[in-house]
Structures are given as structure tokens and as C-alpha cells.
A and B are shown apart, each in its own frame.
Chain A
Amino acid sequence: MTCGGGRLGLGGYAHRFALLALAALCAAFSAIPDSRAQQRPGWVEDVRLFPATTESDWAKRAWIEKAARLFRGGEGLGPGDDLDALMKLPDDEIARRFMRDARFGDTVLDFNLFMLGFKPDRLKTGGAYDRAGYSRIAFDFPNAVAAAQAILAGGDYFTLFDLQGPFYLAPLSQEPEDAPTGDDAGLSSAQLRLKVIAELRAAFAPVIAAGKGPRRPNGDWYCDKVNALIARRPDLLKRFVRAFNDAEVFVLTRAQLVEAPFEAMGKVAAEECDGQPEQWVEIHLLVATLEAALAQIERGYAEILRHEPDRYSPRSVAEFRRFDLAAFPASPQWLAFGHEQSVALGNSSTNFNRKRAAYVLKRFFCDDIVAAPPEPPQHGAAAESTCAACHAKLDPMAGFFRGHGAYFYDYGRSAAIVFDDLSTIERGKYEAAWRAPPASGREWDIGYVRSSPSATDYGSTLADLSRIVRAAPEAKRCVMKRLFEYMVAPDQMIDGGYLDHLAQEFSREAAVNSAEAFKNAMLRIAQSRAFRERDLVARQCYDYAPGAKPEEQPPCRINYVLKKNCAGCHDSAENGDGNLDLGAWIKAPDGRNRTFPHLNKFWDQVTPEETLTKIVERLAARDPKVRMPKNRMMRADEREELMHWAQQELARLKQRGER
């Protein structure tokens, strides 16, 4: 049977429809190779495809192409690749060869952005590979860039978890946010940037010159000059930023490039000029302060100008340049949350950083609180427990960001904090939300909360949070989960045991060299069945841990539903709620069937029938005191799927018992 026919080759609409249908028809008929062969026109040469010769040969070529796309930043095989030579190599050698390509840095950076929840469509703007510029988003997540560079250099991949560190300024914009008008009309962005710094110099110059003349000026007169310059700060700043786009203004603001030197000037001016006689004003001190402030601005600005596109246009991730943060007034370390995250993760006066906390839990620990939100509280007592389920985790995590207000601006040294909704609060009052009780033995109730209180990691600063994430096995498991999603498909089911296996291997190898561990993990997934398979079914698992017997486990999908909705509380037959462990699957007392660890009041394992019956009852119950998951919402399709499976298992056990 063929996919075509003479009549399908019509013109116009029919022709288009026929072509549309052709592709699907091919897929529909492709599973019938014998009939296809029978109806092949006689004049078709009886030769097999060049250069593939066998099914496995074709499959390997498909794998090589897919692997090339994965490891080389989305660019598959091209005319320059010698596919026949690659065919002679084993899979791991092929993958490692691709990893040595400069484009592998793009893959890792793209994955890191996926991990952080901000994957773009394109890392690069248009242009040939060797001339294409990276888009701004590629620079906006410094921990993602640092970790990608670490992979290329054999360094520390877990810089991905460092929430403070280096800074990578994107090549400066070629077009200002608003088109230049008036005297600026016709100027390029680069010319405008030279103009704005010249304007700033021009504002300082007469005041400095007046203080350095041969005769000492009158102190009051000079103070008026200095204070007039300081008072011009808003206007000067407004004119200054017109040469930059929003993302660059964000950088200038966070770095306090202009504000910090002006603040220093204001402080000295207040000391010298307020409430003392004219003669006592130390003119030379004021002049020195002005010169130091201007020099500080110039130093930072010179570093910024090193990123003009004609001087800086990295062709690969390895060429991304670390900004010299020493050039900025007071930024020894740069916060990893860039412009886009600052917009996405606002902190309102009622939110108290919980959005940021939920983000960290989801992105670094794969603990998505929003995916299974609590049910609306019914009454006082229930409300307390319903809310506590999430807030017990969220609030202590939010505390790490207590010093950061709008746009992640650091208010740690300010008396008040400003939120993204522009309201303010006195900082001491705000921080009281995280003060630990006096008897607790710690200053703050801030940390990563685990189900067992003794396992909770407490801290206070963002450096502490980075340390906690680096050490957490949950974070390494999360990297493996996201890597699988990235390489296979974001909604592809993964067996818990297989994920544990990937995480264990990754953790073990990362203890020696995290860059190698990451590459090995990619290789493992690239060689998995899920990666090789075409037409994956999303709710099916394709890979299992070595030695695992999937036929002796609940279906992968059920494991997933249980882990997502139930195993958080029912995690141990000894200590878990209801003496039930829904994360394990053991031999039942009858020795024939398998069941969840579930103990009765005499600490004996109960029968599978009893466990399953209780599961069905709790899932179907309307009474909120009985209904499971307790005080939490569960997706209707997942509830139905779990119910259906439990009922099927019960029926199967019954049949087996009758036999």
C-alpha cells in the first residue's frame, strides 16, 4: 500500500489538503510494510535507502542526529558532519565528541535556564553561528552562565546554586529604549553613552575647579555650589540613563553607579557644611570627595563601556566575560536574580517574599507547592492546618530574602524596605516575621524545612541558602529530573527508581568532579530508552533502575500520583501518617502479592485488600476529616486514576483468591 495516488496530486485547496493528509496517512500506513512492498510501482528501483542499510542502522543515524541536536545547542547534523565516520563509533564516544564542540556550552546554558524556569526559544539572535550575538536573556542569569562555563572548564557545576557571585553584562544595547530626540537625534547608542558621561563630567567640572583655584573660596558659597550639584542628582540621573535600555538601567540601579557616589558626597557635604562657620569648611576635603565620586563613576562606567558591541561580542559561552565588580561602588558579589527574575518574582507588602520562596522550592528542590495547592479552609481549626501545610515550608524559605525588596534591591542596610507594589515598611518590624522564639536557640526561623524537624536546615543569609541547596540531595535529584525533562520531554513520566538511580550516580560522581558528573548524567539519559524511542507515551515509563522489576511495582503513573499527592505524609509505616508508606512496594504477608508497608495497631502488616480498600474509601470520601489527601487539592484525573487502579487491584486480588 502506498501513501499516494494520482488523484491526490490536484491543485488548489484539494492539493493542499492532500499534502496535509499525506503526512498523517504515511504514519497510519507505515506499520504495514508487507502491503506497502506489494503495491510499490514496478519501475521503482529495488534498492534500499542510501546510506542506511538496516533498521538498526537507520535508528542509530536517528540517534546520532538527535544527540547532535541535543549536545550542540539545537543544531543537528549538517553537511559538514561525516555521518558515516560517526556511525563507526560507539554511542558514548559520539556523545563525548559532540560535548567537545563549542556549542555544547549553549546546550548547558539553555538547560540551566530551563532548570531556573526561564528557557528562551533562542539563545542567539540572528546571524551566522560565528557572528551571531547572544540574546540578552543569555546573560541575565549569572549563576546559569557560571555553571555552563564550569562544565566547559571542568569546574564546579554547582555554581548554579550560588545565589550571589559573578556578573556577566550583556553587550550594550544598539538602540536606546526611546528614540533620541532634540540634540540627541541621530546619535547611535554608543555615541549617546559617551555623551551622557561627558554631561556628568561637565556637571562636576566647574564645582571641582572652583574649589581648586589659587584662592580659597568662601566656605558657605562653596557649600552652596556642592549642595546644588548634589540636588541635581535626580535630573542628572534621568539624563544619564537615557543612553540605556531597561535591562541596563536595572544594572545601573543595582550597582548604584551614580547614586552611591552622590550619597557619599551628600554625607561629607552635610558634615562640612551644616551648622559650622564658613572658615571651618574644609574645601579641599569637599573637592577630594567630588573627585573621588567622579572617579568612582568613571571607573564603573569604563568597565561598562568595555561591553560596547564593537568591542565585546562573545561567540560562545566560554567567551562570556566576567564583569569586574570591583569597578562598582559596593558590589563585591552580584545577586544571581537578574532583570527578568526581578520582574517575575515581585515582593509585595502582603506576599512577604513567599513568591520567591515558592520559586526556590520549585526550581532547586522540585517541590512545586503551587501544583498541589491546599483546599480552601472550612473553619478555624481546619484553616490553621490547611494553611500550615504550605506556610510551614514557604515562610522559613522566604526569610532568606528578607533584606530584598522591589526588584531584589538590597535594603539590608536601610531603615525601611520598599516593595514592588511601592508600599514601604520599617525593616525591623518586617523582619520580626522571621524572628525565632527566644527558647529556640537560634536567631531566625529561616531555613529549608523537611518533614522531620531534625532534618531541617536553618540559616539566615542568601549565602546560607546557597550552602543548603548545594548540600541537599533533593537539589541534585531535582537537577536529574529537570535534565531528563529537558532531554526527553517536559511532561514525560519518569520512574522514581530510575530517577533515584540517576541522582545517586550523579551525587557519587559529583563528589569528585561535578562537571564530569553532569556530562555522565547527560550521557546516561542520551542512552536511555526514553531518549531513543520515537512517539513516546507521556504517561508511561521507559527506563528503570538497574535490577528493578517493573512488573513487581505499581504502574509508573500510579507511583507518580502517589509521590505527588500522598507520600509526603504517608512516608513511613513506623512514623508516617496512618502507619502507611506509599513510597515503597513490598511483598505481602501471603507471599504471593505485593503491597505498601502498612501496619495495624499491633504493628503487623495488614493485607493488601485492607490497604487498598482504605485507599479507595479515603479517595471517595466527602467528609474533609476523612478525605485524602488531607486538606490538599488533588487533580481530578489523578484522583480518578488512583481510584481506578486501586479498584482494579482489588478485583485482581479477589479473582486470584478465588482461584
Chain B
Amino acid sequence: MRPLAVFALLFGLAAPAAAQTSQFKGLAAVSRELSTRIAPKHAPLELDRFLPAEDLDVLLGSWTGFGGEHNFKNGVPNSLNMVIWHATLSRFAAAMGESCATPRMEFHPRFGATLQKVCAWPAPKAQSEATLTAFWLALMGYGAPEAEYVAWRDFFRAAYAGKPAAETVAAMTLAIAMNPHFLLHK
């Protein structure tokens, strides 16, 4: 399974990249989307706070510019911006996992309730279809095909069956946030 998976990964990444429109949405757009889904209106979520250093957001796909016309820059995935995305979203995911014990950011009450259910992991209720669906949709929305959810759900039910909640929630969040359907303009 594993060599096949690595092959599939490499093949899957290399083949269609040149033909596709897909560029990153950019940190501002992703922040806005996520904030609408999980944060209360009075305390919007800004992913900038999870950046490893200030002003790196322009490397994650940005329209910003002064002194010239604005074109979307740094939107094509490359090794550098992938590292920054990963570092940023890992911090966000870790904060989400830590929120099982102590909230690290302000959540919309409805998402807060969903998070609390997932935080009961590995209890069966946390692994239920309803809980996992609610968590997935709260972060991802409907941007990804249904099959993506199924794969994500099955992976965590199998690979994280005995892991603690904080670790699992962080990993679940990172897996959603690093999904191309979440990060890329599609």
C-alpha cells in the first residue's frame, strides 16, 4: 500500500498541475472563509496570527501591491509557500487541538458545540457520522467532493482510533486545511 501511495501522490501532483487554473486562494480569502464558518461575528478569525513571521502572507498568494497594478502574485504552489502554509496551518491546527482543553480562540457557539463533541475522541460519539460530518463541513464547507470527506473520515477512524483528542483534532484540522480543495482556488 505505501509504495503505491507514494507513487500515486507523486503522479497525482505532477500530471495535471500545468493544465489547471488552480492557484492558492491566498491567506486573506482563506481566513475570511474560515472565519465565516467557525468564528463569531464579533471576533473574526485572522490566520495571520498563526504565521511563523510577519508579512509572510504575501508569499501565500496575494493581490497586495502599491505603486503598480495589482496582479495575483505567489499563487502558484511551490516548495517555499507550501512550507509557509504548512507552518501556519500547523499552528492553527495545534491551537484547535489545544482548544479541547482551553479555548485558544473564540468560536461561534454552534462550532464550539461541534468541537466539544469531537474533543470526546476516541469515544464512539466523537467518531459518529454526524459529529465528523459536522466538523468537516464546518471547516471545509462543500468545496471538496463528498469522496474527500469519506477518505478523511475513514483515515482518522482507522489511524487515530486510540489517539488522544488534542492530537487527533489537530491532525484532523491540519488534514482539512492542507487539502487542495480548501487551499486552492477552484
Interface residues of A (CB under 8 A from B): 2-9, 15-16, 19-30, 33, 36, 40-41, 43-45, 47, 49-50, 52, 55, 58, 61-62, 64-66, 69, 74-79, 113, 117-122, 126-132, 340, 343-344, 359, 489-492, 534-539
CA distance A50 to B128 in the complex (A): 11
Taking the closest CB of chain A, its distance from the CB of B61, in whole angstroms, is: 9
**Do A121 and B151 touch (CB < 8 A)?**
no
Q: Is B3 an interface residue (CB 8 A)?
A: no
**Do B186 and A535 touch (CB < 8 A)?**
yes
**Do A20 and B86 touch (CB < 8 A)?**
yes
Interface residues of B (CB under 8 A from A): 1-2, 5-6, 8-9, 11-13, 16, 19-22, 26-29, 32-33, 35-37, 40-44, 46, 57, 62-64, 66-70, 72, 86, 90, 108-111, 128-130, 133, 141-143, 145-160, 163, 171, 174-175, 178-181, 185-186
Taking the closest CB of chain A, its distance from the CB of B34, in whole angstroms, is: 9
CA distance A242 to B44 in the complex (A): 34
B residues within 8 A CB of A20? Answer: 86, 178
Quick one: which of B22, B41, B157 contacts A535, CB cutoff 8 A?
Answer: B22
**Do A8 and B155 touch (CB < 8 A)?**
yes
**Do B26 and A121 touch (CB < 8 A)?**
yes
A residues within 8 A CB of B12? Answer: 24-25, 27-28
Interface CB pairs A-B, < 8 A, 17: A3-B155, A9-B159, A19-B171, A19-B178, A21-B5, A24-B12, A30-B148, A36-B147, A44-B154, A77-B141, A113-B70, A119-B63, A121-B64, A127-B44, A128-B42, A344-B68, A492-B21
A72 (CB) vs chain B CBs: closest residue = B36
B1 (CB) vs chain A CBs: closest residue = A5
**Do B158 and A130 touch (CB < 8 A)?**
no
A127 (CB) vs chain B CBs: closest residue = B44
CA distance A4 to B150 in the complex (A): 11
**Do A121 and B28 touch (CB < 8 A)?**
yes
A residues within 8 A CB of B156? Answer: 4
A537 (CB) vs chain B CBs: closest residue = B19
Known contacts being A49-B149, A74-B32, A539-B19, is A130 close to B41, with CB within 8 Å?
yes
**Do A52 and B29 touch (CB < 8 A)?**
no
Add 14 more A-B contacts to A21-B6, A122-B32 (CB < 8 A).
A3-B152, A8-B159, A9-B160, A16-B90, A24-B13, A26-B147, A28-B11, A36-B147, A36-B150, A50-B133, A119-B70, A121-B28, A129-B41, A537-B20
Residue of B21, B28, B37, B130 with most partner-chain A CB within 10 A:
B21
Known contacts being A4-B159, A5-B158, A41-B157, is A26 close to B179, with CB within 8 Å?
yes
**Do A537 and B21 touch (CB < 8 A)?**
yes
CA distance A78 to B110 in the complex (A): 10
**Do A33 and B41 touch (CB < 8 A)?**
no
A residues within 8 A CB of B37? Answer: 76-79
Smallest CB-CB A-B distances: 5 pairs = A4-B155, A9-B159, A3-B151, A30-B147, A28-B12
B residues within 8 A CB of A2? Answer: 151, 154-155, 158
B108 (CB) vs chain A CBs: closest residue = A79
**Do B70 and A117 touch (CB < 8 A)?**
yes
A residues within 8 A CB of B69? Answer: 117-118, 344, 359
Known contacts being A4-B159, A74-B32, A534-B186, is A128 close to B154, with CB within 8 Å?
no
Q: How many A-B residue pairs have CB under 8 A?
A: 204
**Do B129 and A47 touch (CB < 8 A)?**
yes
**Do B186 and A536 touch (CB < 8 A)?**
yes
A residues within 8 A CB of B133? Answer: 49-50
Quick one: which of A3, A29, A65 contacts B142, CB cutoff 8 A?
Answer: A65
CA distance A483 to B171 in the complex (A): 38
B residues within 8 A CB of A19? Answer: 171, 174-175, 178
**Do A24 and B151 touch (CB < 8 A)?**
no
CA distance A44 to B128 in the complex (A): 9
A residues within 8 A CB of B178? Answer: 19-20, 22-23
**Do B175 and A128 touch (CB < 8 A)?**
no
**Do A62 and B67 touch (CB < 8 A)?**
no
A63 (CB) vs chain B CBs: closest residue = B142
B residues within 8 A CB of A3? Answer: 151-152, 154-155
Known contacts being A65-B141, A340-B66, A539-B19, is A126 close to B155, with CB within 8 Å?
no
A11 (CB) vs chain B CBs: closest residue = B167
A residues within 8 A CB of B180? Answer: 23-24, 27
**Do A5 and B159 touch (CB < 8 A)?**
yes
A residues within 8 A CB of B141? Answer: 62, 65, 76-77
**Do B154 and A538 touch (CB < 8 A)?**
no
**Do B41 and A26 touch (CB < 8 A)?**
no
**Do A75 and B36 touch (CB < 8 A)?**
yes
Residue of A36, A49, A491 with most partner-chain B CB within 10 A:
A49
Residue of B8, B26, B146 with most partner-chain A CB within 10 A:
B146
Taking the closest CB of chain A, its distance from the CB of B112, in whole angstroms, is: 10
**Do A50 and B129 touch (CB < 8 A)?**
yes
**Do A9 and B149 touch (CB < 8 A)?**
no
CA distance A9 to B110 in the complex (A): 29
Known contacts being A19-B174, A61-B142, A340-B66, is A74 close to B29, with CB within 8 Å?
yes
Residue of A21, A55, A79, A359 with most partner-chain B CB within 10 A:
A79
**Do B185 and A21 touch (CB < 8 A)?**
no
CA distance A29 to B12 in the complex (A): 9
A121 (CB) vs chain B CBs: closest residue = B28
**Do B130 and A77 touch (CB < 8 A)?**
no
Taking the closest CB of chain B, its distance from the CB of A330, in whole angstroms, is: 29
B residues within 8 A CB of A26? Answer: 147-148, 151-152, 179
B124 (CB) vs chain A CBs: closest residue = A43
CA distance A311 to B143 in the complex (A): 40
CA distance A22 to B93 in the complex (A): 16
A residues within 8 A CB of B154? Answer: 2-4, 40-41, 44
CA distance A431 to B145 in the complex (A): 61
Quick one: which of B66, B90, B159, B186 contacts A6, CB cutoff 8 A?
Answer: B159
Quick one: which of B32, B90, B130, B150 contacts A75, CB cutoff 8 A?
Answer: B32
B42 (CB) vs chain A CBs: closest residue = A128
A residues within 8 A CB of B57? Answer: 121
B72 (CB) vs chain A CBs: closest residue = A490
**Do A121 and B62 touch (CB < 8 A)?**
yes
Residue of A9, A129, A340 with most partner-chain B CB within 10 A:
A9
Residue of A2, A6, A121, A131 with most partner-chain B CB within 10 A:
A121
Taking the closest CB of chain B, its distance from the CB of A177, in whole angstroms, is: 14
Taking the closest CB of chain B, its distance from the CB of A132, in whole angstroms, is: 8
**Do A58 and B33 touch (CB < 8 A)?**
no
Taking the closest CB of chain B, its distance from the CB of A101, in whole angstroms, is: 12
Known contacts being A9-B163, A121-B26, A535-B22, is A128 close to B185, with CB within 8 Å?
no
CA distance A41 to B32 in the complex (A): 36
B residues within 8 A CB of A33? Answer: 147
**Do A50 and B11 touch (CB < 8 A)?**
no
CA distance A428 to B150 in the complex (A): 73
Taking the closest CB of chain A, its distance from the CB of B40, in whole angstroms, is: 8
CA distance A196 to B119 in the complex (A): 57
Quick one: which of A44, A76, A117 contacts B157, CB cutoff 8 A?
Answer: A44
Quick one: which of B1, B36, B129, B155 contacts A45, CB cutoff 8 A?
Answer: B129
Known contacts being A4-B156, A8-B159, is A50 close to B130, with CB within 8 Å?
yes
**Do A30 and B19 touch (CB < 8 A)?**
no
B residues within 8 A CB of A7? Answer: 2, 159
Taking the closest CB of chain A, its distance from the CB of B109, in whole angstroms, is: 8
Quick one: which of A5, A25, A76, A120 contacts B9, CB cutoff 8 A?
Answer: A25
B178 (CB) vs chain A CBs: closest residue = A23
